[in-house]
Every structure is written in structure tokens, then in C-alpha cells.
Amino acid sequence: MADEQEYSGGKKKNNSLPIYGNHETMNLNNLILTNIQSSVYFKVTLFQLKTYHEVIDEIYYQVKHLEPWELNSRKTQGNSGMCGSVRGVGSGGIVSSAFCLLYKLYTLKLTRKQLNGLIKHTDSPYIRALGFMYIRYTQPPADLFGWYEEFLQDEEEIDIKAGGGHILTIGQMCRQFLVKLDWFSTLFPRIPVPIQKSIEQRLNDYDKQNGIVAQPIVSIPQQPERRERSSKEYYRSERRRSRSPIAKRSRSPTERRYRGDFDDDARHSRRSHSREKYSSSKSSKYYRDRSRSRSRERNDRRRYEESRSSRRY
């Protein structure tokens, strides 16, 4: 692949690299790119690095994993509804030094010779890994297998997870780049279906020629993201929480059959409670006296009728 020559306008270009996709964003996720461009590390520290070799030295000292975000820095508070638990949607976090340096390499407009120097570097596997990631993000899908074929059996190990605990060989990582789109909480550029089928066929042929037993691709663990509840879900949960234990109890068929009687009793009890509450008001004395006088009048009227009837007989 390193000896390929490209022709543009009839002129031979031995050392230039084509750029696939969006030339401004490097095909990075917009959220990641925004955090890279606004980070102090990229704007201040990396701005001072002007040469290819200075950036390689920075990779050697600063890169410890290949995730897009630093450990436990991902922020998703405030995302609700359709935005909850969606990859690439959120308030971002602290973008990793690996992705900052990856984008810094892109701003240098690497040549073919420089890119080959990255993927064959002997000082650190992370220098090589960023070279392979640069290929995956920027090179045409039809050229990917040609770049990675030489390294599919590379046994050098690298820990790709922030905080450690997920070790792959360079060969496994290259195979992962060819057949998977997921990379932690982001995505690689999509490969057209015909080219993807061609890559898978070439991988099968490569395995048969080299006597490699096909092994399942190790999936990259996705960082769990906290999903915030929407306002509707919060309202429903509050309603459920406010109900009394009696209201939660399901009624039996017999109880439902006589539900009307129970409701009548409940209405009567509510009326009696309202009377008691009303009787405790300041004007209750007037109404009590008035009701007593009416009862006395009724009693007097009844005694008068009884005495009158006894005289008549």
C-alpha cells in the first residue's frame, strides 16, 4: 500500500493521501469535534506543536487509552425524552488526549510516508493505534483492507479502555476497525454495503490462506450513560408515589359488584365529616340554638295536639 501511486490531472503524486468524506470535520462526531476544538489542551498545548515529530512525542507521553472521553467525565444530565441514552447526544465531557492528538494529526495533513511511519512505530503501541484510527477516519473505504492486511496477525498488545481492563492485540484492533462501526461511545464512518461485503470476503480468504481459525469479534464495552426521566415519566411516578396503600390494592370481583354500596357509605361518611367540620366554625352556635328552638316548637305543638284530642274524648 505504501508503494501505491496516485494520479491527479496527469501528474504523479507519490506521497499525497486522499481524504474521504467531510474534509472539515475529519468524519468525527460533531459533539466530539466541538469538545476538541474548545478544549484548553487542544487550543493551548497542542497549538504550540508545529511538526510531525513533536506530535509523536506528545502521543508517547500523554495517550494512555483510545476512548473519546476521559474516565467518568461524560455528562448527560438534563437530557430527557428522545435525547436520553442516545449515543453522541449530551453535554459532552472531558475529551481524551487521544482524540485531541488524532485531530491534531489531521491538521498536519499527513503524507503517505508519515502515516506509514505512525503504524510501524516501535516506541509505543498508542502511536501505532492513532495511525490506524487516522486511516479508519480519513481513507476511502475501498482502501481500508489494503492498509490493514499487513497487520492482521500483529501480536503487540494495547489497553484501549480508559482506566484499563480491555486489552487487544494490534491485529484484533485492525480487524475490529474493518467489521465494526462502534467504538465506545462514538461511530466510525460508515462503509458502503458492497465494499463491506468485499472486505468480509477478503478477510475470509485471508484466514483460509493463513490457516487462521475465525474467532468472534470482541465487542467494545459501551460506557453506561445515565438516562434522565422525562417530565411525563416524572409526573406519573409522583402520582404513583402519592397514592395510599389502600388505593393500590386491587378489588376482588365480589367487592367490585358491591362497589356502589361502598361508595354510598363513603359519601355519607364524607357528609358527616363535613357537618362536623362545619359545626366547629364560629357561626355554629347560632345554628345550634336555632335547631333547638325548632325542636322545642315541634314538641310543644305535639303536646298541644295530644291534650286537645284527649279533651275531645
User: Per mean pLDDT, which of 69-73, 131-135, 208-212 is the most reliable?
Assistant: 131-135
Using CA atoms, how far residue 35 sits from 25, 85, 103, in Å, is 12, 19, 11
pLDDT confidence band for 299 (50 / 70 / 90)? confident
Q: What percentage of the chain has pLDDT greater than the value 70?
A: 65
Q: Output the average pLDDT for the chain.
A: 78
User: Is the distance from CB of 154 to CB of 129 less than 8 angstroms?
Assistant: no
Average pLDDT of the segment spanning 64-82 = 73
Looking at per-residue pLDDT, the higher value among 207 and 89 belongs to 207
Looking at per-residue pLDDT, the higher value among 39 and 285 belongs to 39
Helix 30-38 vs helix 97-107: angle between axes, to the nearest 10 degrees? Answer: 90
Looking at per-residue pLDDT, the higher value among 151 and 9 belongs to 151
User: Is the distance from CB of 74 to CB of 31 less than 8 angstroms?
Assistant: no
How many Cα atoms within 13 Å fall on the side-chain side of residue 210? 14
Looking at per-residue pLDDT, the higher value among 171 and 93 belongs to 171
Average pLDDT of the segment spanning 116-143 = 96
Average pLDDT of the segment spanning 159-177 = 93
E-strand stretches of 34-144: none
pLDDT of residue 94: 92
Residue range 20-30, pLDDT digits in tens: 999 999 999 99
For residue 85, pLDDT over 90 is answered with no
pLDDT of residue 92: 66
Q: State the Cα–Cα distance between residues 126 and 116, nearest whole angstrom.
A: 14
Cα dihedral 263, 269, 275, 280 sign: negative
Residue range 223-281, pLDDT digits in tens: 544 444 445 554 555 555 545 444 445 555 555 554 555 455 555 555 555 555 555 55
Q: Which residue has the cell 491485529?
A: 171
The answer for residues whose C-beta is within 8 angstroms of residue 155's C-beta and 6 or more apart is 169, 170, 171
Residue range 92-128, pLDDT digits in tens: 689 999 999 999 999 999 999 999 999 999 999 999 9
Q: State the Cα–Cα distance between residues 144 and 292, nearest whole angstrom.
A: 101
Q: Which residue has the cell 462503509?
A: 191
For residue 218, pLDDT over 80 is answered with no
pLDDT confidence band for 2 (50 / 70 / 90)? very low
pLDDT confidence band for 217 (50 / 70 / 90)? low
